[in-house]
Amino acid sequence: EGTVVIAGVGGDRILEILEALDGNGYLTADRLVLSPHKDERVFVEKFSEGLGKRWRLSEPLSVRESGRERPIWVADR
């Protein structure tokens, strides 16, 4: 239940966090809001190969922050 937000770290780190939560049975949220600040392509590819089998990943939204475009993905079960 609920929503998990992970932002401000690299795409690989986001995946490590999610996989650890999932592996220990703690990833019970219905929605994920994810904003990697680097390694975006790797994040999307690896998410799709692993967790993406159980989560639907949206097209990225774009938010401007400190002069930079930051992608934000939403994933729903």
Angle at 30 between CA 39 and CA 61, to 5 degrees: 40
pLDDT at 1: 87
Read off the pTM: 0.92
On whether the CB atoms of residues 33 and 4 are closer than 8 A, the answer is yes
On whether the CB atoms of residues 34 and 75 are closer than 8 A, the answer is yes
- Write the DSSP string, 31-51: EEEEE-SS-HHHHHHHHHHTG
pLDDT at 54: 93
The tens-digit pLDDT sequence of the chain (77 residues) is 899 999 999 999 999 999 999 999 999 999 999 999 999 999 999 999 999 999 999 999 999 988 999 999 999 99
Domains in the chain, ordered, with CATH? 3-76 (3.40.50.150)
